[in-house]
Amino acid sequence: MIDKINGKTVITTPVSAEEIASLHVGDVFYLDGEMVTGRDSVHARVVTEGQQLPVDIKDKVIMHAGPIVRIHNDAGSSSAEGSAGSPSYEMISIGPTTSMRMENFEYEFLQETGARIIIGKGGMKDKTAAACRDLGAVHCVFPAGNAVIGAECVEEITNVHWLDLGMPEAVWCCRVRDFGPLIVTIDSEGRNYFEEKKVEYEQRKEEQIAEISKQVHFMK
């Protein structure tokens, strides 16, 4: 579901392919609802090893992130698994991982899981752009350096899977509110903001070099 709230675009999961199609490169939105983390090791398990992701993220969100989580061993509390006496979890820091690390996995990962929104850092390349176009998804960036602010938007860690991979690599299932800003960098038409800007910047660079060269032609 996509709403305008206090002048901001807010997406609440689950989100449909039709709603995703309304987003375009450069758009900014905030996220409410369910989001899971997963980076290299998670993608490799799903794509290379053929294991099924232990949580349903169809029409939902995967964030390339290796969060820092505080574990509360409180015997009186209920855990993310819902059983008394087990640990509960608190998000301390959740910053984006460089998304290019997942480029070789992303098409098959989206095909297998049905995720609609990818969140990460930096750009991705042709394989992810093709996945977004063919499967109806978007890639977004969350501004780097805001990991603590991101953690404040995590209302609850509802579950965790594959902790054997280690804390940063595990699948952390979160309920978030007002998570963002998220900037669309690849849309469901396959447009790639970073790649388009590279072409533009390269052209502007050549123009500036030519202009500067005319002004300093006398220098040897």
Catalytic residue IDs: 43
Decide the pairing of beta strands 28-37 and 61-63: parallel
d(CA 149, CA 164): 27
Hey, where are the domains in the chain? Answer: 2-194
Q: What are the residues whose beta carbons fall under 8 Å from the beta carbon of 215, sequence distance 6 or more?
A: none
Which class is domain 2-194? Answer: alpha beta
What pTM does this model have?
A: 0.85
Would you write out the chain's pLDDT as a tens digit for each of its 220 residues? 899 888 899 999 999 999 999 999 999 999 999 999 999 999 999 999 999 999 999 999 999 999 999 998 764 444 444 444 578 999 999 999 999 999 999 999 999 999 999 999 999 999 999 999 999 999 999 998 899 999 999 999 999 999 999 999 999 999 999 999 999 999 999 999 988 887 778 777 777 777 777 776 666 5
